[in-house]
Amino acid sequence: MLDSDKVFDNFCMFSGLSETDAEEYSGLCLACAEEIEAQLIDVSSAAANEDALCRAAAAVAFYRMSLISSAQDTSSSFKAGDVTVTRSAGNTIGAAESIKQEYMRPIMHLLSDSEFVFSAIPDCGRDL
């Protein structure tokens, strides 16, 4: 099993949250670590690649936290005097997705691909 403390520490780094503020996402971090583990082609490769796997799980958790926060956030801008501050959820999600891709790339060869399907098309017996 991946070290949940390492996953959580990396999540805090990606999110910029303190450990106290990030605590509400500890279940999300654990779920992402379990997903990464479940996709391992060879479970024995986990020990040798634990740091990379923990970073990837944290990056996935950060991406999902960004999606959740974006869905819950109803305020996108505010004005204080002559200054208007606008926050774009798209930028946050885009950055989180880039982080996720960056940290998934080094471990992709260790994971099974459940989204790719290779199958044959039955021969109809006719020339097309």
**Listed range (14-18, 32-36, 113-117) with the worst mean pLDDT:** 113-117
How many CA atoms, within 13 angstroms, populate the side-chain half-sphere of residue 103? 24
Which pLDDT belongs to residue 113?
Answer: 82
> Is residue 10, in this structure, part of any structural domain at all?
yes
With bands split at pLDDT 50, 70 and 90, how would you rate the model's confidence at 101?
Answer: very high
Average pLDDT over residues 73-96: 73
> Is residue 126, in this structure, part of any structural domain at all?
no
Name the token pair of 123: 């021969």
Could you give the CA distance from residue 60 to residue 54 in angstroms, rounded to a whole number?
10
> Is residue 86, in this structure, part of any structural domain at all?
yes
> Is residue 115, in this structure, part of any structural domain at all?
no
The CA-atom distances, in angstroms, between 71 and each of 10, 22, 74, 90 are 23, 18, 8, 11
- The whole-angstrom distance between residue 40's C-alpha and the CA centroid of its chain comes to 16
Quote the domain boundaries for residue 97: 4-110
The pTM is what?
A: 0.79
Which pLDDT belongs to residue 98?
Answer: 97
* Number of domains within the chain: 1
> Is residue 104, in this structure, part of any structural domain at all?
yes
